[in-house]
Structure 1
Amino acid sequence: MMQTPISSMRNLGPAVERECTRAGIASAEDLRELGAHEAYRRMLLSGTQAHFIGYYVLHMALQGRPWNDCKGKEKDDLRQAFDALKAEVAGHKDRAPAGIDRILDEIGVIARR
């Protein structure tokens, strides 16, 4: 079965596609199946830097809505879910290193975790 690139979805470009791929999310179909919250959780665990805009943009993309359509109570509710997710992931021991450590790990300069 042919898989649709994540970057073909509204609001999502090559950078999000790379982060998804690193998190084991290979296609738009995979992303839709997981849902925005679980996909973002996996992205965080694989080393993506937590950012609220990225979280709600993912939600908007899966709904086919413009990224800036998230407002009011919906945005407040997503903020609460994002903060809870960030707190959950912060204590996770298997989280991939971020920044330069992640890159050094990927190329084998430091020990794999």
Structure 2
Amino acid sequence: MTEPVSAIRNLGPASVDQFARAGIHSAEEVRALGAEAAYRRLILAGTRPHFIGFYALVMGLQGRRWNDLGPDEKAELRVVFDRLVAGIAEKAKGRSDFEAALDMLGVRDPDVPGRR
């Protein structure tokens, strides 16, 4: 039996909806992807990047409260988040509007196995 996405600490109904739009329907899928890949999929599916949402996911996957991090850890996660968002923006350059729309809908992303 699979666990719902909401079984991960810090993830509620809004997160469940966002993950569903990204084609992720279970906590096991989120855990298998890891925080960065899962959050990347959320962004590509249309979720607006938000640092607190990212680090809430990271903390949840560690079984920790969303605000259970010190300033050094928060600074490290900010670097990861900024790199992730910048990488998505850089990758988006040069695509047609149609390709970008397909990626945002989660229909086509060449970095996701099985999608072309």
TM-score above 0.5, yes or no = yes
Paired AA for residue 53 in structure 1: I
Paired AA for residue 24 in structure 1: G
Instruction: Report the counterpart of residue 48 of structure 1 in structure 2.
Output: 47
Instruction: Report the counterpart of residue 89 of structure 1 in structure 2.
Output: 88
Q: Report the count of equivalent residues.
A: 96
Structure-2 separation of matches of 1:81 and 1:50: 13
Q: TM-score, normalised by structure 1?
A: 0.79
Instruction: Report the counterpart of residue 61 of structure 2 in structure 1.
Output: 62
Any residues of structure 2 matched to 1:1-113 within 5 Å, and which? 2-91=1-90, 92=92, 93=95, 94=100, 95-96=103-104
- Is the Cα–Cα contact under 8 Å of residues 56 and 70 in structure 1 kept in the other structure? no
What is the root-mean-square deviation of aligned Cα atoms in Å? 1.3
Q: TM-score, normalised by structure 2?
A: 0.77
Paired AA for residue 9 in structure 2: R
Paired AA for residue 72 in structure 1: P
Measured after TM superposition, the shift of residue 74 of structure 1 is 1.1
Deviations 1:18-73 (A, max 9, x none): 11111111100000000011100011011000000000000000000010012221
